[in-house]
Amino acid sequence: MKKLILTSVVVAGLFTACGNKTEETNHEAAKTEVKHEVAKVQSTHETKMQEHKEVVKTQAKEVIAKVETKKEEVKKVVENVETKVAEHKTEAKEAMTKVQTKVNAVKEELSGKKLFATCAGCHGLNGEKKALGQSAVIQGWDVAKVEKALHGYKDGTYGGTMKGVMKGQVSKLDDAKITAIAKYLSSL
């Protein structure tokens, strides 16, 4: 019986040892399986991350291409606006030149009218009278004829009986004032 008990203990020990070995083997197998699963998950994760990166790169390239297209469109719009501004600037300058020419003409006319006011006492408001009943009617004379007469009175080369009176009147007039009076008188 001793032998039987001893054999039972040995068999039980062997079973226990085998059970521990099986448990260790199972544990190692489980560890290996977990390692394989972790590696699979990591590999899948890396693959997904790489796919995601590629999608993001593609989308970024598309956005950049759209931005560049819009940038070119905006550049063309700006160029068109600059061209229009330059055109309007030129038109405005031309219009201002025309306005200034008209303003100068009006100023000249007003200047001539104002200057002629001193002549109106003898020649009439519109040059329609013979000065002091002796001179010619000057209404309707052209610019050249008026300028020639006034310059002649000034330098003493023109005029008859009224020469002395007129020399005193025109002596204070410069060329610009003579031209202004001539232009005004010719417009009457």
The structural domains of the chain, ordered by start, are: 110-186 (1.10.760.10)
pLDDT at 164 > cutoff 70: yes
Q: What is the pLDDT of residue 178?
A: 94
pLDDT of residue 2: 53
Retrieve residue 52's tokens: 């995601």
pLDDT of residue 14: 46
Q: What is the mean pLDDT of residues 112-133?
A: 91
pLDDT of residue 142: 96
Q: Is the pLDDT of residue 11 over 50?
A: no
Does the structure show a pLDDT above 80 at 3? no
Mean pLDDT taken over the chain: 83
Query: Can you give the pLDDT at residue 31?
Result: 76
What pLDDT was estimated at residue 148? 96
pLDDT in tens, 43-93: 788 888 888 888 888 888 888 888 888 888 888 888 888 888 888 888 889
Q: For residue 180, what pLDDT band results from cuts at 50, 70 and 90? A: very high
Say if residue 179's pLDDT is above 80.
yes
pLDDT at 41: 75
**% of the chain at pLDDT higher than 90:** 31
